Amino acid sequence: MTKLLDQAVEIARALPADAQDDIARIVLQLAGDEGAPVALSPEERAAITESKAQAAKGHFATDDEVRAVWAKHGL
């Protein structure tokens, strides 16, 4: 394992479990092991539909809103 990957894993260990799972899914996808598709709840599907509609209208998060989300997750 490279030093950079080892550093990333150590940082990820301090994150909440759901964030760790998100990171793990991304790493697995990049490594070519995508596994089974993730089943979405009706609420998640609705949120994605709403997000797509907002994007189609050109409504995106402001820089301050993005920074607030990053700060919430310690990034």
Shared domain check, 75 and 46: yes
Shared domain check, 10 and 33: yes
Shared domain check, 63 and 33: no
Residue 66 CB neighbours (<10 A) = 11
Shared domain check, 45 and 34: no
* Cα separation, 25 vs 22, whole angstroms: 5
Burial class (CB in 10 A: 0-12, 13-18, 19+), 38: exposed
Residue 18: per-residue pLDDT: 93
Shared domain check, 3 and 32: yes
pLDDT digits (tens, 9 = 90+) for 18-72: 999 999 989 988 888 767 777 899 999 999 999 999 999 999 999 999 999 999 9
User: Letter for the amino acid at 62?
Assistant: T
Closest CA to 73 of 20, 25, 28, 37: 20
Q: Which residue has the higher pLDDT, 29 or 7?
A: 7
- Structural domain of 31: 1-38
Residue 38: per-residue pLDDT: 77
Q: How many domains is the chain built from?
A: 2
Shared domain check, 43 and 31: no
